Amino acid sequence: MRRFFALLLVMGVAWLMVLAVAEMPTYGQPNPTHNAVMERYLTRGPEETGAVNVVAGILADYRAYDTLIETTVLFAAVAAALLALGEGRHRGGAT
């Protein structure tokens, strides 16, 4: 019985997701949701960020928060790996 309800729940969530996808505009259409941000970055990126490399301009200026948290995630991953696998040894802790 639990399995039946679980299956029902999964199918319901999947149905919601399919509905959401069906509502999305067709890819590549002249649609502002797809193209406005891209056009702004490509045409005005060097002028607004000062970076000729548009990718760097997006990463470090327009989307600087994203890169900051990305760096923090990397820091957390390395800190967790050091903590779990070997850091105690250098501090004289239990091996």
Partner 1 sequence: MREPLRFDDLILKEVGGLLVPFLQMFGVYVIFHGHLSPGGGFSGGTVAGISMILFSLVFGLGPGLRKVSHDATRIMESSGTLWYGLVGLVGVLRGASFLMNRGAGIPLGTPGRLFSGGLILLITVGVGIKVASAIISLYYLIVED
User: Per rule CB under 8 A, is residue 90 in the interface with partner 1?
Assistant: yes
Residue 35 interacts with partner 1 (CB under 8 A)? no
CB of 77 to partner 1, least distance (A): 8
Reported as type and span, the H/E element at residue 83 is: helix 64-85
Rounded Cα–Cα distance for residues 55 and 4 (Å)? 48
Burial class (CB within 10 angstroms; exposed 0-12, middle 13-18, buried 19+) of 46: middle
Does the footprint of partner 1 cover residue 39 (CB under 8 A)? no
The reply to whether 43 sits near partner 1 by the rule CB under 8 A is no
Please, which residues have CB within 8 angstroms of residue 20's CB and are 6 or more apart in sequence? none
- The contact set with partner 1 (CB under 8 A) reads 46-53, 55-57, 59-61, 64-65, 67-68, 71-72, 74-75, 77-79, 81-82, 85-86, 90
